[in-house]
Each structure stands twice: as structure tokens, then as C-alpha cells.
Amino acid sequence: AEGSDWQRQRKLTATPFNEQKSSSVWSESLRQASDMLHFWTLYGSDGTKYCAEDVRTLAINVLAFAGFQKSYPFKGSQQAEITERTPSTYRDALAIILQNVLILLVVPSQVFSLPFLPTRWTQVGWAKTAFRRYMLDQIADEKQLMSEGKAGSGTLVSNLVRASEQPQDPGSSNVGKTQKPLSIDEILGNIFVFNFAGHDTTSISLAYALFLLVAHPEVQDWISEEINFYLGSEPDPTTWQYENTFPKLQRCLAVLLETLRLYNPIPGVPKHTGPHPQRLSLSESQTLNIPPNTLVIPSLQALHTHPRYWGSDSLTWRPSRWIISSAPSSNTTNPPLRTTLTTEKLLTPQKGTFIAWSEGLQNCPEKKFAQVEFVATMARLFKGHRAEAVPGYDGGESMEEARARVMRVVGDSSVELLLRMREPGSVSVRWVER
């Protein structure tokens, strides 16, 4: 969508991502992370090699709850294989779709109805059909509720349908009129984009962050210090309120920002000039005229690692670069922890130097969703536990060598629609109580 059509869709689709939804994302993320941590600790000293796959499960379960009011128990990757040939739930259908996005993008829909297809492709076809049926049923149910004057179901579909049918704002010159509602295909298209963008990018970022934390135990201690300072007297995660807790866990958020700076799942943010030329100001004395109908893809990696903006250690993963202290200067070498934490603030980068969620009018509407989910997961995992790489080579590998191997796995990444590690399963991680 472009121009006025894009503006209409953006206005209508921004409605579902509000603070009320953030609270829901927070509570469900804590619940899923608690179950995931319990499952991981069952592996004991042998650890699990399924961390990257399990955070995908967490992300899809949070998305299912926050977006569609469907709650699913966490099951580890070894438990959760879909053995039925036909996906039986919305979550199963969505999981299969997200695992096979590339196939869906390049293979025409009619191919999936052909006989004698590989089992995997047949399952993808069934998942696509089932997911569309689930969504159409929700749309029909929501429109029925609206016709009866009843409250909405609170799902993403509900918000999209109702937002597109609402009258104009009181200050508008078109008071009393409704905007052009989203069509069925537009609703389905937006739901797919929200699912793909909201799930894959978040789960990939979680996987990278976990591996980087395993390789940097000092950063685990750094965020655990913050988590326990604010939550140490509250052992029950169900009592951790979003409104009071999320804004305080700035170190946890810094881990996400630093991970996205170096390992953003989206290598570039496509921009298009549209039918008219665009002028780009490079400096006070230099401008660049970009022709109409030109695709421009800024390189996030180049921008996010430029020493001019990020210093001489711009290639180093250092979350503390995002934290600045506003404490008054003193002669105290080691100020009290309370003074340190309560005066810390999150760095605001120079405009245009950090665009992990894009920037400007077309920034990502799910930015807050991802931040809340990430911080809640970090808080639950690292409040009372630490993550260690299990030394390989039958115990002949030292802990330092194991951590170096983890960094090699992180560095061995490739782009398949999104940036991801090639072999995350080659690392086993064990979770140990602090």
C-alpha cells in the first residue's frame, strides 16, 4: 500500500498496539518464560541444545495470547512436534506457516492441492487453508457481535474490524462518516504481516541475546543485579506488574537494543521514493536527488557499526553502552547500588543512527510489543538463574573455549529472508540456580 491507502491502513492497524495490550504481553511472556525455564532446568548439567527453537515456541504462544486470546501451555521443542498430518489448532497452523514462509512466498497456492506432494508441502498447504479459515471465522464472529451491539472479543481481528468501522474523530471535517473499512484481504494481509514480523524477528532476537549472554557471563550478572534490585523481594512472577516493573528494567532493554544493533534480523529497511523525486540532505552543503520510482535499502549493519556514531568498539557487543548515569559526580569510587540504578537512563542515539524498527512515519507498530516481551523474558530467566555453555569434546573443552565456540556460532549467521544463526543446535546450554 502507498500514499493515502497506506495512511488509511496504518491508522487502522495501529489501534491494536496500545498500553492495555502491553500489559497482556507482559503477563503472558512471564508465564511462558517461567514454563520454559522449568523445562530447561530439567536437563540438568547436560543442558539443552534447543534454546533457539524453544524461544520460537515462547514467541508464538505470546503472540497467540496477546493477538488472539488463545492460551497454550509451553512445550519444549522435543515435546511439541506436530505429529498429526493436519494441524489441529490455530497455533499449529500458524507455527507451520511461519516455519515455511519461503515456500509460501515462491510456490503458487494451487500447487498445494496437487496429489503426491512431499508430506511437508502437503502439511503447509493444509496449514495455509486452516489458518485462513480460522481468521475468516473470527472476522465473521466479530461482525456478528458488532451487528448485535455487543463488546468485541479483544483479539487482533476484533480490533482491526472495529477500528475500520469507527466514525471519524470528532475534530474531523468528516464527522459521522466512516472510513473505508479494511477489506477481508487487507485484514488477512495485515494479520499475516503482524504474525510474521512480530514472531520471527522477536524470536530471532531472543535467540541471539541468549547466546550472547551465555558467552558473556559478566553481562548476565549486570542485568541480574538490576532485576534483583527491583524484584528481589517478589519471588512470584505473577506479582510483577507491567506498569511498575517494565520501565525500571533498562539494562534488560539495553541487551535487546545492543543485540539489534549488531544482529538485526532485518538487514535493510526498504524505502521507495514513489512517483516523485525525493531530495535527501546529506549535510548543510550537500544534497542528493533520488529519482522517482527508486528503491533504496539503507544497510542497517553499516549504520549500526559506524565508529563515528558508536565509537572505536562499534563491532563489540556491549549493552552497557546504552546506559548513561545521571548521578551527580562524587568522590565515591563505588557508589551504593541504589544510587547507581536509580540514576541510570537509557541512551537516546543520534537521530538516524539506530533504526532497528525503522524510523519516521513508517516505523514498526510492534516495537513496544517486542520490547515488553523481551524484557519480561529476560527478567524471568535471569532473576534466579545463570546460563552456561556446556563444554564439549567429552569435557576436554574449558569454559573459556566453550564461550568462544558460542561466539563462533553467533558469527556463523546467514540471511534467509531474515538473519539467523546457521547451527544454534550445536551449542548446549545449561541453566544453573544463582
Best CA proximity match to 212, nearest among 55, 389, 86, 434? 389
Higher pLDDT among residues 151 and 61, named by residue:
61
Note the pLDDT tens digit of each residue in 90-102. 788 888 888 888 8
Q: Look-up: residue for cell 557471563? A: 217
Best CA proximity match to 62, nearest among 383, 372, 379, 364? 372
Residues composing the chain: 434
When pLDDT is averaged across residues 342-349 and rounded to a whole number, the result is 93
Per-residue confidence band for 84, with pLDDT thresholds at 50, 70 and 90: very low
Count other C-beta atoms under 10 Å from residue 309's C-beta: 14
Higher pLDDT among residues 85 and 211, named by residue:
211
Q: Look-up: residue for cell 532497528? A: 356
The cell for 184 is: 477481508
DSSP secondary-structure letter at 309?
A: H
Task: Using alpha carbons, list the distances in angstroms from residue 370 to 22, 59, 194, 314, 429.
Answer: 9, 9, 11, 24, 24
Say what percent of the chain tops pLDDT 90. 45
Rg (CA), the chain: 23
Note the pLDDT tens digit of each residue in 27-63. 999 999 999 999 999 999 999 999 999 999 999 999 8
Residue 348 exposed, middle or buried by CB count within 10 Å (0-12, 13-18, 19+) = exposed
pLDDT value of position 344: 94
From CA 131, how far away is CA 189, in angstroms rounded?
A: 12
Higher pLDDT among residues 360 and 169, named by residue:
360
Distance of CA 434 to the CA centre of its chain: 27
Cβ(255)–Cβ(222) below 8 Å: no
3-state secondary structure of 178: strand
Higher pLDDT among residues 258 and 136, named by residue:
258
pLDDT value of position 34: 97
3-state secondary structure of 394: coil
pLDDT value of position 85: 45
Name, in order, each residue with C-beta under 8 angstroms of 133's C-beta and a sequence gap of 6 or more.
none
3-state secondary structure of 301: helix
Amino acid code (one letter) for 349 = P
pLDDT value of position 352: 87
From CA 99, how far away is CA 102, in angstroms rounded?
A: 8
When pLDDT is averaged across residues 142-166 and rounded to a whole number, the result is 78
DSSP secondary-structure letter at 337?
A: H
From CA 200, how far away is CA 74, in angstroms rounded?
A: 17
Note the pLDDT tens digit of each residue in 355-382. 988 776 566 767 888 999 999 999 999 9
Q: Is the pLDDT of residue 346 over 50?
A: yes
Per-residue confidence band for 280, with pLDDT thresholds at 50, 70 and 90: confident
pLDDT value of position 175: 47
Residues in a beta bridge with 299: 268
pLDDT value of position 10: 60
pLDDT value of position 167: 55
Note the pLDDT tens digit of each residue in 284-336. 889 999 999 999 888 888 999 999 999 999 999 999 999 998 766 655 667 78
Q: Which residues of 261-290 are buried (b: 16+ CB within 10 A; e: fewer)?
A: bbbbbbebbebebeeeeeeeeeeeeeeeeb
Residues in a beta bridge with 384: none
Cβ(252)–Cβ(226) below 8 Å: yes
pLDDT value of position 86: 47
SS (H, E, C) 55-75: HHHHHHHHHHHHHHCCCCCCC
pLDDT value of position 71: 85
Strand 295-296 and strand 271-272: the pairing is: antiparallel
Q: Which of 96-110, 177-191, 253-267, 408-422 has the lowest mean pLDDT?
A: 177-191
When pLDDT is averaged across residues 82-86 and rounded to a whole number, the result is 45
**Which DSSP string do the residues of 230-264 spell out, in sequence order?**
HHTT---GGG--HHHHGGG-HHHHHHHHHHHHHH-
In degrees, to the nearest 5, what angle opens at C-alpha 138 toward C-alphas 136 and 141? 110
When pLDDT is averaged across residues 153-158 and rounded to a whole number, the result is 75
Per-residue confidence band for 82, with pLDDT thresholds at 50, 70 and 90: very low
Q: Is the pLDDT of residue 171 over 60?
A: no
Count other C-beta atoms under 10 Å from residue 180's C-beta: 12
Count other C-beta atoms under 10 Å from residue 311's C-beta: 11
Q: Which of 146-150, 183-187, 339-343, 387-391 has the lowest mean pLDDT?
A: 183-187
The cell for 10 is: 496504518
Higher pLDDT among residues 169 and 430, named by residue:
430
When pLDDT is averaged across residues 191-211 and rounded to a whole number, the result is 86
From CA 427, how far away is CA 256, in angstroms rounded?
A: 21
When pLDDT is averaged across residues 342-354 and rounded to a whole number, the result is 92
Strand 418-421 and strand 413-416: the pairing is: antiparallel
The cell for 151 is: 463488546
What value does the mean pLDDT of the chain take?
85
pLDDT value of position 8: 59
Q: Which of 152-156, 183-187, 324-328 has the lowest mean pLDDT?
A: 152-156
From CA 65, how far away is CA 70, in angstroms rounded?
A: 5
Count other C-beta atoms under 10 Å from residue 363's C-beta: 13
The cell for 311 is: 565509537
